[in-house]
Structure 1
Amino acid sequence: MASAIADFYKDKNVFITGATGFLGKVLVEKLLRSCPEVEGIYLLIRPRGDQTAQERLNKIIGCKLFDKVRHEQPSFHHKLHAIPGDMCEPALGISQSDVDMLVSKIHILFHSAATVRFDDPLKPSMQLNVVGTQYVIALCHKLKHLQAFVHVSTAYANCDRAYIEEVIYPPPVQPQKLIDALEWMDDSMVTKLTPDLIGKRPNTYTFTKACAEYVLTQEAADLPLAIVRPSIIGASWREPLMGWCDNFNGPSGLFVAAGKGLLRTMRGEYNAYADIIPVDLPANLMIAVAWDTAVSRPENIPVYNSTSGGVNPFRWGEIEGMLISIFKKYPLDKPFRRPNCALASNSFMYQYWQIVSHKGPAYLYDIWLRMIGQKPRIVKMYNKLEKALQSMEYFTLHHWEWSHANVDALMAKMGEEDKKIFKFDCRGLHWPTYMENYVLGTKKYVLKEDMDQLPLAKAHLNKLRNIRWGFNTILIVLFWRVLIARTKIARNIWHLVVSLCFKFLHYLRISSTQGP
């Protein structure tokens, strides 16, 4: 059966911002592999340090993500073109010659570049997420053959609402007025005003993404525009590699910290949805949305919520149990402690376990490092982990519902072959299997650990278990002898227990010498 979507991309030129990001890489790979007759893909890449844009592109396409397309299309790299630029610079920092070339060639534009750091100050976050979007809009207005412009937002742009529909909500302030004001405000003034500006939203990221959506309604309403809103993007589900991920952002970092035994407790609501969406699903959705936008030419700006909670719910409490069992089956190399992470919804209990499980052991370990002449580092490491946990806390404690009418309507328009090739429906996702692949993905692709060393990792985990049992036994003995065994009854019980243990050991020795 023919693929209408793949046929649409035949002889088309695509421009992508954010191609060096997690979602951007998967989007590029999927376009190359499933739309093999696409003419060219142009990627906005910022030179970094001594690396040119082309050198960064060469490094990206050399990773394992592109192994499958490399096997199927050995010359695929000829379709990829690095465009040096910067999202924070006027006109995206693109040279005039490159602009002229893009204006005459580009048919589809995917805008996925953004700062995803939740704790970014408001001014740089607005510059990249909102002003950068304005620069992209200005470029779109110049493109002579533009058929589809897909903007990637976030499902949490309007997280101040419990139920989020596939519509664009007005932000609490006019984005352009705020942009103008930020030009003359100093950093201290911006820091003081930020809590009032973002209102009920937890961070500058969600606030600026909401502002960017509203800017699109003001400046890009005449363009063939659509908005895709993914929730928490996780490792790939099916393609091109199961469990592929390449960074510590979002849940990946939490999973690694839990697997290393560093993360022992975190705030979270057991029954709240962990709205993780595998990265290959929003990538497929973006490709399908561009096709439908170009073919259907909707009058209004369609919004597509790419989430899992209302379709295939998965709860944070379920993750807690799965992680421990999976990391015992596939332990990471040389964990700090045995994996054992627990959720705490109560603030007081969370603070208690933070002291007992995180801060206390960290200070003790740093004291030990000082005693043996090494530089203390564990407290500093836990401070970074605590900062990451605080940024995630809002999303692990709250629960949202999203509508999916536009996503379902798009799926109904697609042929059976396209539904298979460009699958973005998570109803068939089996979460335990996905989580196991996710954990293996962090081990193989993020930490780059050798799976052949798994027996050694299991042996190290058993060693940590024995150390823990021995330590707990010593604590119990000391507690009993020092605090409890002061009365005659307690001493008699102690001697009885010890004598029974000796008798049991004596019985085992006699049984082993007599043999069968």
Structure 2
Amino acid sequence: MISLSFQEAWAMGVPQQKLFSSTKSFKTHLKDMDNNNYIMPDISINNISKFYENTKIFITGATGFVGKALVEKLLRSCDKVDAIFLLMRPKRGIPVEQRLKEFVKNPVFNRIKDKNPDAFEKVKVIPGDVGLPNLGLSDEDRIFLIKNIDIVFHSAATVKFNENLKTAITLNTLGTKRMLELCEKMEKLKSCVHVSTAFSNTDKDIIDEQVYKPSYDAYAMINLIENLPDEVIESISSQLVGKHPNTYTFAKALAEQLVLEYSGNIPLAIVRPSIITAAWKEPFPGWVDNIGGITGILMECGRGTIKSIVCDDKCRMELIPVDIVVNTLLTSAWHTVAYGPTAMRVYNCTSGKLNPVTWKEFGEYTHKYSLKWPSKYVTWYPGFVYRTNTTVHNVCTMLYHNIPSALLDVFLYCTGKKPMMLKISRKFNQALIAGSFSSTNEWNFESASYKSLAKAVENAEDGEFFSVNIASNSGFDWDEYVGEFVKGVRQYILKDDISSLPKALSKLNRLYWFRIIFQALAGLLALRMSIAYF
């Protein structure tokens, strides 16, 4: 038997599958995997919803986009779950009990409110915070979780690309360590799923479903942020992050190292979603909950306020609908038990190779449906250009984004309203810059484990209700999906009822002719200036 410690084996580059020879094996039936990563299932749990019967589930990050959809799906499709406990912290002076009441008012739960409003009695709140020692849990709550929880979903994280390094590591790396330490003590734990990101290893062109050795040891980074002054950490941040595009992916890569280590004692799985976007089917087509990332950019493209995007339009996009992510989380927890955890599985939950769409195609669909489903909040006639030249992009940003926003702010100020347009414009300009790494590169995400999961779900008795298939044979069509996405932004983000569509279309038509007249006048002015010059 190998006598190396985990850290020693890791440092020597021993493959992760061999690291378990010196750790405790899982307390469940283990069967050898063949070359296709397939194990004969435990047929006694070939029903996914039945797997969740009478279970107590603990979720971190439930108030986020994925978290809300996960809770909704559990209540709707796994209705015999015993209880769902949400780790939640007070926010802006609002206690957790009040936050829970606001949480269940979200439109994502409308189907449940109509059919089974009593289901919300199963949702309980546990005060805590992944940013605090011991997750900020009281002794009583900690003991309760240790003795009662069956399944854990850890999705709490800061997803800000420009987060300072200390905060990113505290929440995304150290917070994960604190969760794993709790899970290791849980007496009834059957499965724990860690939500990572497909972009945790973007220094590689081909990204397999395995945990890669990070550039720095996770424990060393935790020790660093706990002991060095903030200004020192900030001064060396870019050097530490290295080839990672931001602190978010760096901290997530470190967290994966910890998950791999603890997988010797805990039945763990890692799900790596790419850019998470609006729902494909569930709970409603186009449902979306925030304006982060691509959603905010799509919204502003539809409003006509974004005219230039740094992007190589030949590259594949890596988008994944939120309901596919949720189904992957639920089924990976089931898969870990039903198909036996001989080694921790990593699932690359991505679409690029299974059902590709380029930035050019996505942009054409966005423009098409922005004209078909305009919002009453449309500001300029929609239309944008992809550019790889950042200098030209910066000039266009000044001309088409910042100057018009500043003029609008002057108008707002003169009419007694609060100027805000330039601030909003700068916010979305920062989002464009932060997203330029993914819009000018592409990766090959391997998906053997993900395909194995999809096959297992397909063979389950109730697999049709938990499908994770987004391949071209799944019926998923990017053209139709972007149409629902645009409508979803209109309905759920802008709160714009469909009754406003006729007026919005009329406004769009006026903006179109204003654009034509403006371009004609600008052209005449340029012609006269050139004639006068020569």
Query: Normalising to structure 2: TM-score of the pair?
Result: 0.87
| Residues 469, 172 of structure 1: alpha-carbon distance in 2 compared, 3 angstrom cutoff | same
Residue deviations 1:327-383, cap 9 Å, x none?
111111132211112111222332332233223434454556667776654333322
Q: Once the 2 structures are TM-superposed, how far is the Cα of residue 482 of structure 1 from its aligned partner?
A: 5.5
Q: Distance in 2 between matches of 1:446 and 1:373?
A: 26
- Paired residue for 1:214? 257
| Corresponding position: 1:31 with 2:78 | no
Deviation at 1:299, TM superposition (A): 2.4
Q: Deviations over 1:99-121 (max 9, x none)?
A: 22222211101101100001011
Deviation at 1:416? Answer: 5.2
Counterparts in 2 of 1:303 and 1:482: CA distance versus 1, 3 Å: closer
Give the C-alpha shift of residue 455 in structure 1.
Answer: 0.7
Matched residue, 2:365: 322
Superposed CA offset, 1:173-193 (max 9, x none)? 111112112222222221221
Contact 2:376-2:496 at 8 Å conserved across structures? yes
Could you say which residue in structure 2 is the equivalent of 1:446? 493
C-alpha distance in 2 between matches for 1:364 and 1:38: 55
Cα distance, 1:44 vs structure 2 = 0.6
Q: Quick check: 80-89 or 204-213, which moved more?
A: 80-89
Q: Which residue of 1 aligns with 2:156?
A: 113
Q: Secondary structure at the match of 1:157?
A: helix
Partner of 2:505: 458
2:339 is matched with which residue: 281, 293, 296?
296
Secondary structure of 2:117's partner? Answer: coil
Give the whole-Å Cα distance in 2 for the aligned partners of 1:356 and 1:111.
43
Indicate whether 1:340 and 2:383 are aligned. Answer: yes
1:251-330 equivalent positions in 2, closer than 5 A: 251-330=294-373
CA contact (8 A) 1:224 1:297 kept: no
Give the one of 436, 441, 446 matched to 2:483.
Answer: 436
Name the CA distance, whole Å, in 2 between partners of 1:20 and 1:56.
9
* Aligned-residue offset at 1:212: 0.2
The alpha-carbon distance between structure 1 residues 53 and 474, as it changes in their structure 2 partners (threshold 3 A), is same
Alignment equivalent of 1:151, drawn from 194, 198, 203: 194
**Partner deviation per Cα, 1:7-62 (whole Å, 9 max, x = no partner):** 11111111110111100111111111111111111111111133221221221212
Partner residue of 2:138? 95
Equivalent position of 2:127 in the other structure: 84
1:74/1:358 CA distance change after superposition, 3 Å: closer
Q: 1:3 to 1:73 in 2, by over 3 A?
A: farther
CA distance in 1, matches of 2:177, 2:418: 47
Residue number among 452, 457, 467 corresponding to 1:423 in the alignment? 467
Q: Between 187-196 and 448-457, report the one with greater CA deviation.
A: 187-196
Per the TM alignment, residue 5 of structure 1 is displaced from its structure 2 partner at its CA by: 0.7
Percent of aligned pairs with the same amino acid: 36
What is the Cα deviation at residue 251 of structure 1?
1.0
Which residue pairs with 1:474 in the alignment?
521
The structure-2 alpha-carbon separation of the partners of 1:416 and 1:480, relative to structure 1 and needing over 3 Å to count, comes to same
Q: In 2, are the aligned partners of 1:320 and 1:342 still within 8 Å (CA)?
A: no
Q: Tell me which amino acid in the other structure corresponds to 2:480.
A: T
In the aligned structure 2, how far is the partner of 1:451 from the partner of 1:3? 42
CA distance in 1, matches of 2:257, 2:340: 20
Q: 1:457 to 1:145 in 2, by over 3 A?
A: same
Aligned equivalents of 1:50 and 1:350: distance in 2?
41
- Aligned equivalents of 2:57 and 2:337: distance in 1? 13
**C-alpha distance in 2 between matches for 1:135 and 1:38:** 26
In structure 1, the residue corresponding to 2:90 is in which secondary structure? Answer: coil
The size of the alignment, in residue pairs, is: 486
What root-mean-square deviation, in Å, do the aligned CA atoms of Structure 1 and Structure 2 show?
2.0
* Alpha carbons 2:296, 2:428 under 8 Å: kept: no
What's the offset of the Cα at 1:257? 1.1
**Measured at CA, do residues 175 and 364 of structure 1 come closer, stay the same or move farther in structure 2, by a change above 3 Å?**
same
Match of 1:172 among 191, 212, 215: 215
Unaligned runs of 5+ in 1: 488-516
Q: Report the structure number with the largest CA radius of gyration.
A: 1
Answer whether contact 2:375 2:500 (CA < 8 A) is retained: no
Shift of 1:141: 1.5
**Length-normalised TM-score, structure 1:** 0.90
Alignment of 1:216-231 (within 5 A): 216-231=259-274
Q: Distance in 2 between matches of 1:486 and 1:218?
A: 71
Determine if contact 1:264/1:340 at 8 Å carries over to the other structure: yes
Alignment-mate amino acid for residue 468 of structure 2:
F
**Would you say the 8 A contact 1:334–1:460 is kept in 2?**
no
| Residue number in structure 2 paired with 1:238 | 281
CA distance in 1, matches of 2:415, 2:528: 31
